[in-house]
Structure 1
Amino acid sequence: MNLTAIEQLLIPIRQFLQCETPDEWVKEAKKPENLPVLLRDHLVCELKAAQSAMLLIRRYAVDAASAEALLQWLEPYEAFTYRMEGDWRTLGRDKGLKRTMIPREDKPYSQALIDKMVLLIKEELHHFYQVLVVAEAHGIAYQQVRSSRYAKELLRHVRTHEPATLVDKLICGAYIEARSCERFAMLAPHLPADLADFYISLLRSEARHYQDYLTLAESIAEGDISARIAYFGEHEAELITAFDDDFKFHSGRPQVTAAG
């Protein structure tokens, strides 16, 4: 992907996000000693993105047998990430979902949710494996890391009645994917060549993911969601620009930089 193509992809993303990643975060992120933290946290982020999509399908779109098939699909990835079980190399041979998802008849948006979220899960799990490959190339072994506050704090503002809950979760998903995409682009110039190429390669799929989330949110809401998008955009920008003592892929301004 050439520079012009990258910039074209980033234009709508930067318009969607209400702030850019602070320079302090980039300064901290480009330090070689922070590369292991970023890669390990990025790995967990890819799994959490797949889990979030899976939960949406299981809760809103499929029958019980299909829901169980989704759990089985993610189980080896969760076992490796959370229990340090299994050989990550076997994940590269994963053939994906073993059965066709059966949509619920009582939800008119079930098939659209399945179509977009299953594709997203496949791509996130592939990215998960790719992160492990590039980490090994740099001699970085996986270690468990504590999740950042970012997604949890964003989701704290989700409404508690349907379909508003689903709409808000989809909007949150859009912001998480868009911010990931923006940070891939911010990081790439400061990384070793192979890692830079890897992050640039992720831009296209991540850019589509945020658009898929918004498309679903708009279709399910059946009305104008611009106010909710702006609402979550404000909270997302607050998390990104606030000082944060836990440096991670989606963290805010690093406290260490501010103090130093």
Structure 2
Amino acid sequence: MTLPDHLLAFLRCATPQAWVRQALQHPEELLIDHANCEKKAASTALNLMFRYIDKPDLLQKMSRLAREELRHFEQVTALMNKRGVAYRGLSASHYAQRLRQHVRTVEPGRLIDTLIVGAFIEARSCERFASLAPHLDDELADFYRSLLKSEARHYEDYLKLARAYADGPIDERIAFFAEVEAQAVREDDTEFRFHSGAIDSPA
């Protein structure tokens, strides 16, 4: 599946090839942290459902999203079991925090920014699955390609909700987070994670 042009345009930069090389050198950490990301994505959706109970569209979309992310978690852990990869704790990457530290604390800005950040995380996940797939074994490549459609829809859902609940245009806010997200992707990291930045030396 080819990624939609609007998703690629949404992201200011492509995943560095240094990260792809690191992913191929850390197959266990790739799967473990992918599972962690799916679990965190479900948690984020559920948190939004509990925080914004007065927004029916958000409740419906986040409920579906949480179910899909948990299903992905089950699929990743099943692959891990098949490959003899034990699920273990990993430290979180700094990627999400680099974005979320800029989320406003007063409503409705808090909701709008949280949804925009969600859109970027989903779009980047989708782009990384597509970047990795050509380099993986057939089973894992097929699995990652199978995730592209839902991850792309999740990005679109977050963005549509952000526009729907904003009291005006949000293009400037999206542009701001686009720069923050691109910087997070280019930032040097010492440990490989699914959303880590560029890593040029062995971790």
TM class by smaller structure: over 0.9
Match of 1:177 among 112, 115, 122: 122
Aligned to 1:56: 48
Aligned to 1:44: 36
Match of 1:233 among 165, 175, 178: 178
Q: Which has the higher contact order (CA 8 A, sep 6+)?
A: 2
CA distance in 2, matches of 1:205, 1:164: 26
Aligned to 1:120: 65
Unaligned runs of 5+ in 1: 1-5, 62-103, 105-109
Match of 2:12 among 8, 18, 26: 18
SS at match of 2:91: coil
How many residue pairs end up in the alignment? 203
CA distance in 2, matches of 1:52, 1:255: 31
1:10 deviates by 3.5
Show CA shifts across 1:134-154 (max 9, x none). Answer: 111211111111111111121
CA distance in 2, matches of 1:179, 1:246: 18
* Equivalences for residues 103-252 of structure 1 within 5 A: 104=54, 110-252=55-197
CA distance in 1, matches of 2:22, 2:5: 25
Structure with bigger gyration radius = 1
1:218 deviates by 0.2
CA distance in 2, matches of 1:200, 1:23: 19
Question: Are the aligned partners of 1:10 and 1:182 in contact in 2 as well (CA < 8 Å)?
Answer: no
Letter in 2 for 1:134: L
Show CA shifts across 1:48-94 (max 9, x none). Answer: 00111111110111xxxxxxxxxxxxxxxxxxxxxxxxxxxxxxxxx
Letter in 2 for 1:14: L
Question: Are the aligned partners of 1:26 and 1:186 in contact in 2 as well (CA < 8 Å)?
Answer: yes
1:222 deviates by 3.1
1:255 deviates by 4.2
1:27 deviates by 1.3
Task: State the Cα RMSD in Å.
Answer: 1.2
Letter in 2 for 1:198: F
Letter in 2 for 1:21: T
TM-score (norm: length of structure 2): 0.97
Question: Are the aligned partners of 2:18 and 2:200 in contact in 1 as well (CA < 8 Å)?
Answer: no
CA distance in 2, matches of 1:239, 1:120: 24
Percent identical pairs in the alignment equals: 51
Aligned to 1:84: none
CA distance in 1, matches of 2:4, 2:112: 24
Letter in 2 for 1:57: M
Unaligned runs of 5+ in 2: none
Moved over 3 A (4+): none
Question: Are the aligned partners of 1:180 and 1:206 in contact in 2 as well (CA < 8 Å)?
Answer: yes
Letter in 1 for 2:23: A
CA distance in 2, matches of 1:242, 1:59: 32
